[in-house]
Amino acid sequence: MTGAGKPAADRAQPSPQNPWESVPLADYEAHMALSQVGQLQALSALTKRQLASHPVRTVCILGVAGGNGLAHIGPGIQKVYGIDVSQAYLDRCAARYAALGDRLVLQRADLSDPRVDLPDAELFIANLLVEYIGIPTFAGHIARRRPRYLSCVLQQNAGEAFVSASPYAEAFAGISSIHTDIDAQELTAALAAAGMEHTGTDRLSLPNGKQLIMLEYTRK
């Protein structure tokens, strides 16, 4: 692993077939920021809450993408790990947040691979990630690392498609093959078996009628 200026390659190189590697970051962020979607703004605000709510010095963000939310990293956090399958996303993240210096460590890894070796951190954050790797794989990652805290955000679709209609929707066509709606109770049961106790749930409504569900867990 390296600092912000040099994203690290994972020990086992991610598969080039992962559909997320074909989604341009500019299209992803433009879609998420649309007024009728509102997710880029909402996820930044939720990440701020996740960071502020846990007294930790180390954080691991699974699915860091372009670094949305990293602006809220405070001086008390000594190390923040960002994990993503897309090297292009990590490169952009490194450039945007170079001011974090060696506190930011970026790792390229395909989180759908249960063999991925993740760093140790007190707080793990996984926002809109579980839908793309599934509950068993995600719970396996958490069981191996057993962070002190875990905070997840899921999307509840209210009968709508997971990806909202927008001028950028075509860019997301490939990821439909790996997306699965996640039941919060099933996730909580799997995480309980992984040693994590559910400690809270919050909901945030989006402009298009969907909701983001934030689930909080603490190591037993």
C-alpha 173/C-alpha 177 separation (Å) is 8
- Percent of the chain scored above 90 by pLDDT? 79
Question: pLDDT tens digits, residue range 83-117?
Answer: 999 999 999 999 999 999 999 999 999 999 999 99
pLDDT computed for residue 2 by the predictor: 40
The residues spanned by each domain of the chain are: 8-219
Domain 8-219 has CATH 1.10.3720.10: no
C-alpha 187/C-alpha 147 separation (Å) is 16
Q: What is the DSSP string of 19-53?
A: GGGGS-HHHHHHHHHSTTT-HHHHHHHHHHHHHHT
- Mean of the per-residue pLDDT values of the chain: 90
Is the predicted pLDDT of residue 126 greater than 70, yes or no?
yes
pLDDT computed for residue 163 by the predictor: 66
* Amino acid letter, 59: V
Is the predicted pLDDT of residue 169 greater than 60, yes or no?
yes
Q: 81 vs 12, which has greater pLDDT?
A: 81
Which pLDDT band holds residue 176 (cuts at 50, 70, 90)? confident
Which pLDDT band holds residue 177 (cuts at 50, 70, 90)? confident
